Amino acid sequence: MDKKYLNIYNEILNKIENNYFKPNSKLPSENDLMREYNVSRATIRNALNLLEQNGYIQKIKGKGSFVLDIHKFNFPVSGLISFKELSKKIGLNANTILKELSVIKPDSYLMKQLQISGDEHVWKVIRVREIDNKKIILDKDYFNKKFVPLLTKDICEDSIYEYLESKLGLKISFAKKEITVQIATEDDKKYLDLEGYNMVVVVKSYIYLDDASLFQYSESRHRPDKFKFVDFARRNKEVMKG
Amino acid sequence: MDKKYLNIYNEILNKIENNYFKPNSKLPSENDLMREYNVSRATIRNALNLLEQNGYIQKIKGKGSFVLDIHKFNFPVSGLISFKELSKKIGLNANTILKELSVIKPDSYLMKQLQISGDEHVWKVIRVREIDNKKIILDKDYFNKKFVPLLTKDICEDSIYEYLESKLGLKISFAKKEITVQIATEDDKKYLDLEGYNMVVVVKSYIYLDDASLFQYSESRHRPDKFKFVDFARRNKEVMKG
DNA sequence: GAGTGGTCTAGACCACAAG
DNA sequence: TTGTGGTCTAGACCACTCT
């Protein structure tokens, strides 16, 4: 990767994670960093803005950039991160069981969710996620076959996202997610170890590629006591004008 | 407000919301916008990047900037938005009932949440939110008294945030939120119309000022069938390197 | 080849914070 | 007064898309 600002971003991020830059301490000023990395100020600002957006630092006009202390508590379920990335990050004893893998014609609900016609085909993937030997999450994923020509058992049991990004070269860009709580369905009771709970947390995701085409709809159904969603949000500038 | 890029941001946003720039259509190129507004390209890019961050457009290298079609479905509970701002935005018949307003010494739990010592004082505010005449949300807010010297009944029944931002000049900068589902407590049953549900959705928020000081901790407890959280997330660049 | 957004430079002036 | 980050300019070259 040749991009200077990304290299600088990663270098500073490493120093934060390795406690070289400590929480609540001040980073070198933008002018110092310019000299240290021999780049223009805009490049430094590009790197620092990315750090700020991702919640690692807070910039304060007239004072400097300060390292935030909140990431050590975070399970970043927020943002876009796959189950495999997540389980690796938090080091859980996790396991995936593939229950169904097929190509279907979408019903009217799915046509609406994926914004396609009934003539197109859709991959349907049903997986159960086991954590510490308990069936906690039921994932129902639907992929527009136009973008994903092939899926196999092996891919679904490993990481679909890794396959899509590395092998197919699809670039996942953004997602809309919706979290609600619902009464557990028969499917939920059949596939999950609900241990008496009669509700599930449902995370619906609409996932888009970098050309803004909708290629996946998914429902992730969680046992309520095991569900946790963490979000880092900045107050928007334009909201403050209202 | 003198900032050129914010003016341009708002002008383009208005044109998107008024359907002058239609969903899936292309915005004028950055060069066109430079000429139209008589500013440098960096200023245009500043405005467009803000639109992209907030999910209104998608930029595609070599092609252009395209208007996204997802905002019309959004209840933006995500981000940082107060109950009053929200109810105004979605036009609900909403009402706030103040149950408790007092200054307390924090117990050990609260000391940890607000990262303060037992010598400091904390405002405790308990409010019930009524929507369509049903008690749906129980809000428990705790403010570090160092930053909020005074609260009154009137302020709590109107909008605390408006008071903090407009009158006290506090600048709310970012928040960490955590969503879980819990068994309903006696308080939940006492204050809310739970209609048989025995669980509540709990949103814990840690809210920071622009100097990165933690000034508020709050728990928002929702009847599960009425809860909905919508999130717009972009896949991070540095994650893609991993 | 022409047009697009992505990165980068080398300046400038401003508002804000702190001694 | 000095140093900080925030905004802005006027260029430049690049990688990518489309025709």
Give me the average pLDDT of each 10-residue run along chain B (242 residues). Answer: 91 94 95 96 97 92 90 51 62 84 94 89 94 90 92 88 82 87 95 94 91 91 88 64 33
Partner-chain contact B60 A6, CB within 8 Å: no
> CATH 3.40.1410.10: does it fit domain A83-226?
yes
Contact B222/A222 with Cβ under 8 angstroms? no
Q: Which residue bears the tokens 């876009």?
A: A80
Out of A10, A80, A240, closest to residue B233 by CB:
A80
Q: Calculate helix-pair angle for A30-37, A4-17, nearest 10 degrees.
A: 110
Structure tokens belonging to residue B125: 């505010």
Partner-chain contact B58 A229, CB within 8 Å: no
Query: Looking at domain A4-71, which of 3.40.50.11540, 3.30.465.10, 3.40.1350.10, 1.10.10.10 is its CATH number?
Result: 1.10.10.10
Structure tokens belonging to residue B22: 């239609």
Asked if A35 CB < 7 A from strand C, the reply is no
Q: Which residues of A16-25 are buried (b: 16+ CB within 10 A; e: fewer)?
A: beeeebeeee
- Residue pLDDT tens, chain A, 242 long: 689 999 999 999 999 999 999 999 999 999 999 999 999 999 999 999 999 988 899 999 999 999 998 665 554 445 555 666 666 666 667 788 999 999 999 999 999 889 888 889 999 999 999 888 889 999 999 999 999 989 999 999 888 888 888 888 888 888 888 889 999 999 999 999 999 999 999 999 999 998 888 999 999 999 999 888 888 887 765 443 33
Out of B179, B212, B231, closest to residue A66 by CB:
B212
Structure tokens belonging to residue B227: 């809860």
* The pLDDT value given to residue A239: 43
Cβ within 7 Å of nucleic strand D, residues: A 27, 29-32, 41-42, 45, 59-65; B 2-6, 38-43, 46, 60-63
* The pLDDT value given to residue A210: 86
Calculate the CA A127 to chain-centre distance. Answer: 18
Query: Looking at domain B4-73, which of 3.40.50.150, 1.10.10.10, 1.10.8.10, 2.20.25.10 is its CATH number?
Result: 1.10.10.10
Structure tokens belonging to residue B182: 């819990």
Predicted confidence (pLDDT) per residue in B161-198, tens digit:
888 887 888 888 888 888 899 999 999 999 999 999 99
Protein-covered nucleotides of chain D (CB closer than 7 Å) are 3-12, 15-18
Fill in the DSSP letter of residue A80.
Answer: S
SS3 of residue A40 by DSSP: coil
Query: A31 CA to chain B: closest CA distance, Å?
Result: 20
* CA of residue B7 to C1' of nucleotide D8, angstroms: 14
| Residue extents of the structural domains in chain A | 4-71, 83-226
Structure tokens belonging to residue B128: 């019930």
Partner-chain contact A79 B224, CB within 8 Å: no
Residues of chain A with C-beta less than 8 angstroms from the C-beta of B206: 70
What is d(CA B210, CA B206) in angstroms, rounded to the nearest whole number?
Answer: 13
Q: Which residue bears the tokens 């609540």?
A: A24
* CA of residue B207 to C1' of nucleotide C9, angstroms: 38
Minimal CA–CA distance to B109: which of B217, B232, B242?
A: B217
Contact B182/B199 with Cβ under 8 angstroms? yes
Protein-covered nucleotides of chain C (CB closer than 7 Å) are 3-12, 15-18
Would the CATH topology of A4-71 be identical to that of A83-226? no
SS3 of residue A153 by DSSP: helix
Work out whether strand B94-104 and strand B64-67 pair parallel, antiparallel, or are unpaired.
unpaired
